[in-house]
Amino acid sequence: MKALLLIDIQNDFVPGGRLAVPGGDAIIPLVNSLQTKFDLVVASQDWHPAGHLSFASSHPGRAPFEQIDLHGLPQTLWPDHCVQETPGAALHPALDTRRVEAIFRKGMAPDIDSYSAFFDNGHRKATGLTAYLRGRGVTDVYLAGLAGDFCVYFSALDALAAGFTTHVVTDATRAISDDGFRAALADMETKGAHLVLSSDLVADP
Ligand code: VGL
Ligand code: ZN
């Protein structure tokens, strides 16, 4: 049983958005066509309260992309993004959501970030995605979406740790940093993830 996880395909993560991932919108036609190859399609949505502590604007004197220590965890400071109920937080209007059975929101606790769709960055609280996938009989998880060096990456690590056979559809993701993405791909592969191309899936009979 194969599930497609569509990670954070939201307005703020595409060009024109507050935390734009270069080429982020280019994956949308691809992920739409991929959906028909899966038994289950699930999405995640970055969903921060205003004033979230991952925002540089919450730390006087700090600028976006600086690193700080946040309650003992390394934290990259971001521009304000995906603020609950704002247009930037909405799933991209070109994303076909007709087959998306559930949307898991994350990043709602004001004092901790949550890159993974499974857990916050401190692994303190689960979103329930692991139990949901197990309950649906999922064995194989395929990840696509944004950003390849953050939320796709950390979601893949948690999918691996949960014991799912984990695949990353590398041409159906885009990253904030090329170097970060290279390192993330190497780490995911070392930890057992399968790096695949969408053409491998669409060609499957
Ligand atoms: C993300 C940074 C901050 C992501 C979310 O979806 O990759 N990155 N919040
Ligand atoms: Zn975020």
Identify the CATH number of the domain in which residue 41 sits. Answer: 3.40.50.850
What's the pLDDT score for residue 204? 53
Nearest CA to ligand 1 atom 1: 151
pLDDT reading at 202 higher than 90: no
d(CA 178, CA 32): 24
Number of domain units in the chain: 1
For ligand 2, the distance from its centroid to the CA atom of residue 161, given in whole angstroms, is 22
Q: Rounded mean pLDDT of the chain? A: 97
* 171 C-beta neighbours (distance < 10 Å), count: 15
Omega of the bond leading into 159 within 30 degrees of 0 (cis): no
7 lies in some domain: yes
- Phi/psi for 89 (5° steps) reads -85, -15
194 lies in some domain: yes
Q: For ligand 1, is residue 147 a contact (CB within 6 Å)?
A: yes
**Of all atoms in ligand 1, which is nearest to the CA of residue 54?**
3
pLDDT reading at 203 higher than 80: no
Q: What percent of the chain has pLDDT over 70?
A: 99
User: Among this protein's residues, is 82 annotated catalytic?
Assistant: no
User: Among this protein's residues, is 191 annotated catalytic?
Assistant: no
105 lies in some domain: yes
> In this predicted model, what pLDDT tens digit does every residue of 103-135 receive, in sequence order?
999 999 999 999 999 999 999 999 999 999 999
63 lies in some domain: no
105 CB-side CA count, 13 A:
12
> In this predicted model, what pLDDT tens digit does every residue of 84-93 receive, in sequence order?
999 999 999 9
192 lies in some domain: yes
Q: For ligand 1, is residue 9 a contact (CB within 6 Å)?
A: no
Domain assignment of residue 135, given as a range: 2-51+82-202
pLDDT reading at 37 higher than 80: yes
> In this predicted model, what pLDDT tens digit does every residue of 38-57 receive, in sequence order?
999 999 999 999 999 999 99
Q: For ligand 1, is residue 47 a contact (CB within 6 Å)?
A: no
